[in-house]
Structure 1
Amino acid sequence: MSLYKALNQPMCRSSSQIHRNTQFQFPNPPPPPPPPPTAKMPFTLLLFVHRKPDVSPEFFKIEYEKHIEHVKRLAWDTFPLTHKRTYIARTTVDTPPEGASERNALTPATVFAGKQSDYDYDVMAEVTFVDKAGFEAFWKKTSLPEAEAELRAHEKEFMDAKKFGVVVVGDLLMTEGN
């Protein structure tokens, strides 16, 4: 019996008729999907960057944004897929709040949970490469003597290199709202 006929038969009441009328096969099942291309595992790093103690948050942000452009120019075709920067919200105060860190005594973070010292860094950057090999190519290019010298010279103007931190991201899960 054709699919068209089976779907257009009047509804039946006996279980034998229901069983007989619902047993049909699609004429040609669709072919299985092609195998996926070789998947590359994205390689993501989190960078925690601190400004020098004598640098304002505003100056730090301006210089860090310039710095990313230097990195992009020097890394050229190996620059990461994304370089997302999240700056800590800071206010300037005359009197340090309770628990203020020495570094940010007069520029505390706007903290909802935790301590001021938990948020001593000024920007957290999420840097994603197509895969680990992409990161390694980037690292190789930005570690060339001329590139490294230019980047380090600029960093000395605004960044505290001793406090710089980088960590590799493991699983990345995301939940979106409606």
Structure 2
Amino acid sequence: MVPVLGAVIIDSASSKVLKPNPLPPPVMKLPTIACAANAGIRFMMFARRRQDLTPDEYKDYYENHHVPLLKSLAGRTFPLSHKRTYVNRATPDYSAVIVFGEQADFEYDSMSILTLKDQKHYDALFSLYNDNTTGKAIHDDEKNFIEWAKAVIIDCDHVTRGSH
């Protein structure tokens, strides 16, 4: 169990909300870290590609199909920014190109940072994920390139900035 934005507890194994939540629980199945920041609310999402896709196919689908779909469905509720970073992977086995750490530390293929203006923006965006039509369209598209993992959402109360 991990704390969630708004002091909510979600059982990561079952994704069930264990405490009342003033916000709709996210439907997203991706591991997510939510951070409240001076500029709004930020999410860090870690995603793993479907294993039948190459890293290049995964990146191409994410950039050229999924993000445009999200933009078209979300309209004005699309995040202020949606920055994506991809793990460099070596061929032929697509192992992560590691500077520090172990191969097992890199089960994800991308990290996305989404920035939302405020709580109202957050509520509007996640109402799309919880909508039967829009949420289903997003979830169905994610099946085309993402391998699902347990959801992890962590509430952060600050962002540390420094020169090192």
Q: Same fold (TM over 0.5)?
A: yes
Q: Do the aligned partners of 1:46 and 1:167 also contact (CA within 8 Å) in 2?
A: no
Name the residue aligned to 1:109. Answer: 96
Which structure has the highest strand share of the two? 2
Name the residue aligned to 2:57. Answer: 59
Distance 1:74 1:90 in 2: 31
Q: Do the aligned partners of 1:44 and 1:169 also contact (CA within 8 Å) in 2?
A: no
Q: Please identify, of 82-91 and 151-160, the stretch whose mean Cα deviation from structure 2 is larger.
A: 151-160
Name the residue aligned to 1:50. Answer: 48
Computing the radius of gyration over CA atoms, which structure comes out larger, 1 or 2?
1
Flag the 1:135–1:70 CA change in 2: closer, same or farther, 3 A: same
Count of residues paired in the alignment: 126
Task: Using CA pairs under 8 Å that are at least 6 residues apart, name the structure with larger relative contact order, 1 or 2.
Answer: 2
Name the residue aligned to 2:86. Answer: 87
Distance 1:164 1:92 in 2: 29
Name the residue aligned to 1:152. Answer: 139
The alpha-carbon deviation at position 176 of structure 1 amounts to: 5.6
Name the residue aligned to 2:119. Answer: 132
Unaligned runs of 5+ in 2: 1-37
Structure 1 segments of 4+ aligned residues over 4 angstroms from their partners: 163-169
Q: TM-score, normalised by structure 2?
A: 0.69
Flag the 1:130–1:149 CA change in 2: closer, same or farther, 3 A: same
Q: TM-score, normalised by structure 1?
A: 0.64
Distance 2:52 2:150 in 1: 14
Distance 1:124 1:48 in 2: 5
Name the residue aligned to 2:105. Answer: 118
Distance 1:52 1:74 in 2: 23
- What is the root-mean-square deviation of aligned Cα atoms in Å? 2.0
Q: Do the aligned partners of 1:81 and 1:129 also contact (CA within 8 Å) in 2?
A: yes
Distance 1:68 1:140 in 2: 18
Percent of aligned positions that are identical: 29
> What do residues 8-55 of structure 1 show as CA deviations (whole Å, max 9, x unaligned)?
xxxxxxxxxxxxxxxxxxxxxxxxxxxxxxxx7511111000011111
Unaligned runs of 5+ in 1: 1-39, 94-105
Flag the 1:55–1:107 CA change in 2: closer, same or farther, 3 A: same
The alpha-carbon deviation at position 132 of structure 1 amounts to: 2.4
